[in-house]
Structures are given as structure tokens and as C-alpha cells.
Amino acid sequence: MAIQWFPGHMHSTRKAIAERLPEIDVVIELLDARLPGSSANPLLAELTAGKPALKVLNKQDLADPAITALWLAHHQARPGTNALGLDASEAAPAQRLIAACRALAPGRGGMVKPVRVMICGIPNVGKSTLINSLLGQRSAKTGDEPGITKVEQRILLASDFVLFDTPGMLWPRQLVPEGGYHLAASGGIGRNAYDDADVAMALLERVRPRYADRLAARYKIADTAGASDDDLLSAIGRQRGGLLSGGRVNMQKAAEMAIHDFRSGAWGRITLETPDEFAQWLAAGQAADARRQAEQAQKLRARRGKPPQRQADGGASGGGSDPDSGAG
């Protein structure tokens, strides 16, 4: 089952974005370079359809550079879209962002027609840190917990370039279970919405096939391939001192250690999904959702005393398999 988290204040964020959009020239979506598909907001894609878009893969210094290149190429191949990688803590990202946005809105510029840009992203993706880097000062609140920014900010980056910063926003329903676990592992979902041990084991399941050597080096584990995810999490607890009386492993502590090590980059540069992988997960999630809706419709018809509606051969359609077609 997918992890779900959509606090009430995100409804107001959705409304604020919709109200601001008519006057916006370019929409920047800040993505987590370690999970570019899972951190892309399908609700935002729906709200901003038709607007020129700049996809910024933030925290690229923590991500696998080869897979980052695949995601950049994926976005750059889409009409009206550009993409670039970024480390939000780098000293002077403003000029790169401004130039990329100007290229997407060539008809705007100058004091009469300033370029108006909205920057959006999921909670805790590094937007406030980026804003502070753009301004060269600490003006936006930052923190490790999602949902720090609660109000829109208007920022003048150049005499004819206005940036509107919006609070972090997720979407009401997560269709891709893998995406929910990846968001939780990255810190994009509030801790009250998931179990640390479940997220840590899902994280290890994703990381181990591609980066087993990183785990082996970090935790001095000789055989990561032969161990189950539960055994591997137990080994992490033993190696990092997460023990209870009698030598039992504190699985909660071990899970917290594993998640922290992923977030901090202690495992090295890791990406949890490729464009093709996320497209497959999304297609499966859409197909499962279509089946669920068909079943609900059949039950409703049965309650109303109507004969069941026969489905066409092949069952309900799962929709497209494009990573940008929506995961919520």
C-alpha cells in the first residue's frame, strides 16, 4: 500500500498556485535528483499544463551522475521544457536559472514586461536553501522537516525578473507505492505517515541491486547479496551500535541510521529510479487504480440493483507509462 500524506495547508497552497498561474511565464519545478520521478508532482503538472517548464534536479551532488544524465535528457526531450542539475548550496546558481527561464520566455524581459517565474516543489526538496543561495543571504526558513515554508514569497532576482516562491506541496493520493517509500526516505513526507523500519527495508531493497558495494563498504558487511533486507538492517544496527540489552538489535534505531545515511550521502552518490523504471511503476499504479475504480463502480451498480457492466477484453486501461503523466 502506498504511503499517503497531504496535510490541510497544502489545499491552500494548491489554491494559491492556481490563482497565481495566469500571470506566470515559466514554472520551475525543483526535483530531488535521487528520485526525480517520485518527487515530480502530478497535481502541479495538471495545474501548469501548457506553461513553459524548467525542471531543476536539485541535490545532484548526492545522486548518481549517469542516471541524472538520463533524467535530464528525458525532460529536455519534452516540448516547452528544459532541465538542469543543481546543488542548492552552490554559491551562484542565480545566473544559470535566470538564463534558462529567459530562454523559455523569449517574449518577456525589460521593465515593461518582466519575466515572472514561479518555483514549486515537494516539501523538503531544498527550495528554501536554493532561495537563500539566490539572494546571497538567509531570508527563507530552512529545516529538516517537511512543510517549513507556509506562505508565498515574492523575490526580485533582477530588475526585470520576479520569482514567486510557493510552499512545498504533495498531491492528495499516491498511486505509485515505490514513490511513496522514496519520498519518505528522502524526507519529503512527515514522519507520522510512515514506519521507519518499513521505509528503511524498502530503501535497502532498491539500493542493494545497484549499489551493494556501497553498503558493504559502509557497514563492513561481506555478503550483502545473500542477506535478506531484514538481515541487512539487523547487520546495520549491530555495526552502528543500535543494540538493546542482551545484544538484541534495536530495529527502530537501525532504520533511523539507514535512512539518515541515505539522506546525508554517506552511501555515496545514489539514485533510486531511472526514467524507465518509474514509467513502469506508474503504469502499474494506474492500472491498479483503474481496476479499483471499476470494482467500486460494479459494487455501486449492485447496490442500486443494476446488472454488472461487462468490461472490454484486456480489463481496465492503466493509462500512459510516461513518468510525467502523473503519479497521484
Is the pLDDT confidence value at 108 over 50? yes
Q: What percent of the chain has pLDDT over 90?
A: 53
**240-273 pLDDT tens trace:** 887 888 889 999 999 999 999 999 999 999 999 9
Q: Which three cell numbers stand for residue 210?
A: 545497484
Measured CA angle at 61 (ends 56, 63), to 5 deg: 80
Provide the b/e sequence for 57-73 (b: ≥16 CB within 10 Å): bbbbbbbbeebbeebbe
Contact 72, 83 (CB under 8 A): yes
CA 129, 133, 136, 139: dihedral to nearest 10 degrees? -20
pLDDT of residue 306: 64
- Angstrom distance (rounded) from CA 217 to CA 212: 9
**199-219 pLDDT tens trace:** 999 999 999 999 999 998 898
pLDDT of residue 149: 45
CATH code, 195-264: 1.10.1580.10
pLDDT of residue 68: 98
**155-207 pLDDT tens trace:** 888 889 999 998 888 888 889 999 999 999 999 998 888 999 999 999 999 99
Is the pLDDT confidence value at 135 over 70? yes
- Angstrom distance (rounded) from CA 173 to CA 65: 30
**CA-based nearest residue to 201, from 222, 185, 217:** 185
Is the pLDDT confidence value at 301 over 50? yes
Q: Does domain 12-165 have CATH number 3.40.50.2300?
A: no
